[in-house]
Amino acid sequence: QALERSGAAFTAWAGSTVVACAGYIHFWPGRAQVWAMMSHDIRRYGPSIHRHVARYIAAHPVTRLECIIDPKFEASVRWARRLGFAHESTMRRYGLHGQDMDMYVFEGGRAWRT
């Protein structure tokens, strides 16, 4: 609920099954962070969800769009790169369990360079 109140949030359903939830956290004008939670069913619906997320990012530009990824979760790293995000830094002991996390920043399109 806190994520939903912080910016736009969406849920992808397949019948009565939640496949994915994703959204933006707006920190201040021009800076936002994306988040996503996926079910195990994502492989079946991944291409469609990817297209919708990419379209949303392109239609809602901000100066800086970030995402934080556990570098050990390789599927998230691959998806972020396909969407146009690039690794910016490693944040030491940032994760819930003290693990290192990586900051990725969107570099995928001119519309974002405002």
d(CA 12, CA 14): 7
pLDDT in tens, 4-53: 567 888 899 999 999 999 988 988 888 999 999 999 888 898 899 999 99
pLDDT in tens, 99-108: 999 999 998 6
And the tokens for 112?
């974002």
Q: Which helix (H) or strand (E) holds 49?
A: helix 42-59
